[in-house]
Amino acid sequence: MNSERDSETTFDEDSQPNDEVMPYSDDETEDELDIQPAVEPEQNRINREVEATRETLRKDCSWQVKANDRGFHEQPQFKKTTYWCIKKSIYSGNAIKTYKYNPITFLPLNLLEQFKRAANFYFLCLLILQTIPEITTLSWYTTLIPLLLVLGITAIKDLVDDIARHRMDNEINNRTCDVIKEGRFQETKWKDIKVGDVIRLKKNAFVPADILLLSSSEPNSLCYVETAELDGETNLKFKMSLEVTDKYLQEENALATFDGLIECEEPNNRLDKFTGTLSWRGRRYALDADKILLRGCKIRNTDACHGLVVFAGADTKIMKNSGKTRFKRTKIDSLMNYMVYTIFVLLILVSAGLAIGHTYWEQQIGNHSWYLWDGLDYTPSYRGFLNFWGYIIVLNTMVPISLYVSVEVIRLGQSYFINWDLQMYYPEKDTAAKARTTTLNEQLGQIHYIFSDKTGTLTQNIMTFKKCCINGHTYGEIRDKMGQPRNHPEQVDFSWNMYADGKLAFYDQYLIEQIRSGKEPEIQQFFFLLALCHTVMVDTSDGELNYQAASPDEGALVTAARNFGFVYLSRTQNTITISELGTVKTYDVLAILDFNSDRKRMSVITREPNGRIRLYCKGADTVIYERLHPRNPKKQATQEALDIFANETLRTLCLCYKDISNEEYEAWNRKFMAASVASTNRDEALDKVYEEIEKNLILLGATAIEDKLQDGVPETISKLAKADIKIWVLTGDKKETAENIGFACELLTDETTICYGEDISTLLQMRIENQKNRSGANLNSSVRANEPFFESGSNRALIITGSWLNEILLEKKKKKKKFLKLKFPKTAEEKQKQLQTKRRAEVNKEQQQRNFVDLACECSAVICCRVTPKQKAMVVELVKKYKKAITLAIGDGANDVNMIKTAHIGVGISGQEGMQAVMSSDYSFGQFRYLQRLLLVHGRWSYIRMCKFLRYFFYKNFAFTLVHFWYSFFNGYSAQTAYEDWFITLYNVLYSSLPVLLVGLLDQDVSDKLSLRFPALYLSGQKDLLFNYKKFFISLLHGVITSLIIFFIPYGAYLQTMGQDGEAPSDYQSFAVTAASSLIIAVNFQIGLDTSYWTFVNAFSIFGSIALYFGIMFDLHSAGIHVLFPAFFQFTGTAPNALRQPYIWLTIILSVAFCLLPVVALRFLTISIWPSESDKVQKNRKKYKAEEQWKRRQSVFRRGVTGRRSAYAFSHQRGYADLIASGRIIRRKRASLTAVLDNNLAEVRQAEEAS
């Protein structure tokens, strides 16, 4: 039993995760993960092949696309049933729809959504009850007016938001491109593009759908694309069409008559995978991802290209990666709803109690009092039942109808403050901060975990040549021409170099002097190697050289060599031309030994004009040092320089060379040619041959490149860490690169102990075994299960790759063996056993995931690299699920969209090429550094304001409503109101709304500068200290006490009173005016006590609300309005009569004093004895006027101690070596595409041959 249980969680030792490989996506089938056994019976093999063929036809290639034939896709077999029996095409249109309403559906759908809110539906029911005369003691307008106001304001806000979505959708859907219609290209809007259309795209145009590349203006129909909108990377990638479509589909008429049929996989979210076939002219051609242009890519360095639409609109991979749109609600929203439900329960209990009291009163007093006879023969119990509903109506203001609309108004205002914040404006891209949703502002003040992308989010994705070590000497410091240090940096003048791009900022004058003097040939050899050993492509536009590299690092090195005088000018299939300090030379390229993730290096073998053959190599220091000649005198000095560079978080690369004899080269070349044409395992064979020649290398030096962080990233991370916010980096980049950035942005330090996937796997296996043993021994392990993985106080970080993540979280897919099986019906016992096994596996998986989250959360930093978009979302979901923590995700590419939508709050970095992340985000801005202001200032203020608003709102409503409760004991529980109807109607709308709204919008306990200087102030939001059930019941108790004072002090004052004129003002209406006046003054002065940040507006709102109350009351109690509407205005002359009595004013003052003085005393004691962190900062704010300057943590370099490796980031795939060696990428003189459109194919071919 134990062995069976263990087997479910033990990792597969035969297939250890590969840190360099991006794991499969959620749409990858188990068939694709198949590893066939080495030996299998012949019959099984035949059965498997037949079954696989059927599966391929039925499953993998079920999506059919016919070129230039829209009718083909309207056939019945391509229809699916949607609503009832309405049939719809399985092929999506290309229009993108993110809006919710149209002019017809807005009113019904919006009302339906609003009445889904419990409070709105409750008040609708209440309004219906108020139309029943036997029940109501309140006029219907007391509920209708506030309800209409709430619905109207919310509807206007939703309408404005939806109009913005309509505009954005229209902007995208109305972009244009050329589509073949009626035999020629016509300009067509994106929304009108259909699957099967043949389209033409021009340079710098976005790709409107997922298309199969048919041909382009480049040699061999290459097409360069920029994928910034997909992954945030700005380096170019290339796609290439089929040879047959390149050959025959260049002309417009050929494209118009193209009738190929594509059979391919169903739409899925795998960005780097595509499987299908093209059937045309009786032949079938295999298709893969290298021939597909994805929606969101941008055409670069390609004048024009043609493509066939395969997936459109919602079926495109970028949309499939966007994840499910989730309805996001704040933690306070959920808590507020539970509190409203609590109030519902209290309301029902109080109403039931008062109804029982009325039943008893009717039995004891009402039935025996002839003067109370109303002519209705109702039993006491029935009267009690009617009074229950009457009290539900009278006490309805316990459930605040204006609460939700007030919250929406506050959130809207806070959103505008974010939009208007000039300190979050990024002038370089003309990008302002944008709150794209108005419902999550206070949640910004409660974040526990931030999940960040790396490329384009933490970094600028700009590589800069900073330093180098040549022949054991380090260059790149601030020095003059004599090599002496300088105090003031002076940028190197590159004007002597006609090819310099003028963008390199370099301050070591001594290096330039050495290069130009030629005293040290190793220096010239160093930069010559950089100009020679690469796979960069070059083209010329307007007389300027433009480099296109497979990775930004390689582009930075070639550009650096260019600025230092060694300029890569051009290349052919077998040669490369370089300008060496003004002298142009051409070298024969004998072989290019390309980079891959296992080799971590690349080499070039050249023959110089004098006949000498030399190998030049560059690569990561870890692999280069293993291949150096034993006699390398500068090895130790270069090692020390590498450690210094790594300590400065620069990305390093070693350069070396080797002279090769003609005989050695000829012998090696034979092996190389044989490996190049190997039919199986070609890559492995080539790597083995490369290994033979790349040894006994002579070390030249090392380069140091800075992967430029965005401004303020380390400072922002430091501030957020002090606010107890943990930052996890989730990236598709390499492990070494991600680790290097971790050090650069100070997520990782020299004191950090780093744990990798294999370490975590061991720890988790030990934990799961211990948990099984405890549960097996029937021990109570609930306490021990929470034991920490690491010692307290240890500074640890976790770096884990996507492959290890799948392995650890038991997400790795298993291959189902597909041998021929005879299927028999399962017995009940077998079914039960299978079900138990499945349940056990689910329990083990959940426990493993919980353990992983517990372990990761103990680390000070977590970096997940080589992860897919789905894995990013999965990590976020696991933390949400097992930690119940508030999460924020920030990114800039389409691969971050799923993560952004999964987190409680999603933030998009705008201003880059890609806008997919921004469109799916809740907030956006131009730079990562603005995140600290968004959270520590706007988030914290929004949380404090909302909490203060809610506490006060509940207080004022309880203080107002419970006066009816106390009044019930003196009116026979008859559901008579203690106030005038119009006062009840206008209390929450006019008399007490403005001051609390302004507090919710403008209040701040400390300034923005102090909020940033003291991140610990943020902790109150994380711990829910300012609004919780405890605070709610304190507000309830405060309201109860205030209502007691508001009722009983006027009641006692009126009990035996005689006015100055000898008349007793102790009638019901005068009492109602006195209680209402006391209440208005008390609650408005109470919000004054709660206000931390006083402005003229706040003061005006408080005194203005009181003045407004008295002004409206005197108008409503005037004789004139009573004459016009006698049925609605019955308190004629009450206010002038009552308020002219000094005794009444004394009563009001006494009531207000009893309400406020205890609060003032308690606040004073609290601040004096138990001050909060905010109180301490406020008290000493004058001391903190001088701004604190953030200082970068200094790393201590210890000589002789090997530092961490700072890896050079080549591209994740092979470079352009194959294309260069085959000559397919080399541009030849060729007729332009516009000319091709007007000539036939034969003429063009003849022209090419002639050229």
CB 734 within 8 A of CB 1205: no
Q: What is the token pair recorded at 986?
A: 């206008």
Question: Considering only CA atoms, which of 23, 26, 24, 9 is closest in space to residue 848?
Answer: 9
Burial 528-554 (b: 16+ CB within 10 A, else e): bbbbbbbbbbbeeeeeebebbbbbbbb
Q: Rounded to whole angstroms, how far apart are CA atoms 259 and 252?
A: 14
- Which amino acid is residue 1114, in one-letter code? F
Strand ranges for 553-629 from DSSP E: 566-571, 575-580, 583-593, 601-607, 613-619
CB 319 within 8 A of CB 98: no
Element (H, E) at 200: strand 198-202
Query: From the centroid of its chain, how far is CA 797?
Result: 22
The catalytic position among 453, 508, 733, 892 is 453
DSSP 183: T
Q: Rounded to whole angstroms, how far apart are CA atoms 82 and 100?
A: 19
Element (H, E) at 243: helix 243-248
Q: How far is CA 1015 from CA 126, 417, 940, 1004, in A?
A: 46, 21, 10, 15
CB 709 within 8 A of CB 432: no
Q: Rounded to whole angstroms, how far apart are CA atoms 1036 and 106?
A: 38
**Site of tokens 């291959």:** 815
CB 334 within 8 A of CB 581: no
Q: How far is CA 88 from CA 79, 220, 264, 1193, in A?
A: 5, 39, 21, 61
Q: How far is CA 126 from CA 248, 387, 396, 397, in A?
A: 74, 14, 8, 11
DSSP 794: -
Q: Rounded to whole angstroms, how far apart are CA atoms 990 and 763?
A: 62
For the CA atoms of 970, 971, 976, 977, the dihedral, rounded to the nearest 10 degrees, stands at -20
Question: What is the longest distance spanned by two Cα atoms in the chain?
Answer: 131
CB 199 within 8 A of CB 193: yes
Question: Considering only CA atoms, which of 430, 452, 268, 515 is closest in space to residue 876?
Answer: 452
What are the respective helix, strand and coil percentages of the chain, to the nearest 5? Answer: 50, 15, 35
**Site of tokens 């002279």:** 659
- Which amino acid is residue 275, in one-letter code? T
> Please, is 845 exposed, middle or buried when counting C-beta atoms within 10 Å of its C-beta (0-12, 13-18, 19+)?
middle
Question: Considering only CA atoms, which of 1121, 968, 777 is closest in space to residue 387?
Answer: 968
- Which amino acid is residue 778, in one-letter code? N
Q: Rounded to whole angstroms, how far apart are CA atoms 751 and 202?
A: 52
Give the residues across from 697 on adjacent strands. 628
Q: What is the token pair recorded at 100?
A: 């919710």
Element (H, E) at 475: strand 473-475
374 is catalytic: no
User: What order of strands is seen across the sheet that includes strand 726-730?
Assistant: 434-435, 923-925, 905-909, 887-891, 449-452, 726-730, 861-865, 796-801, 753-755
Give the residues across from 236 on adjacent strands. 226
Helix axes 993-1002, 1068-1090, angle to 10 degrees: 10
Q: What is the token pair recorded at 3?
A: 């062995």
Which residues are catalytically annotated?
453
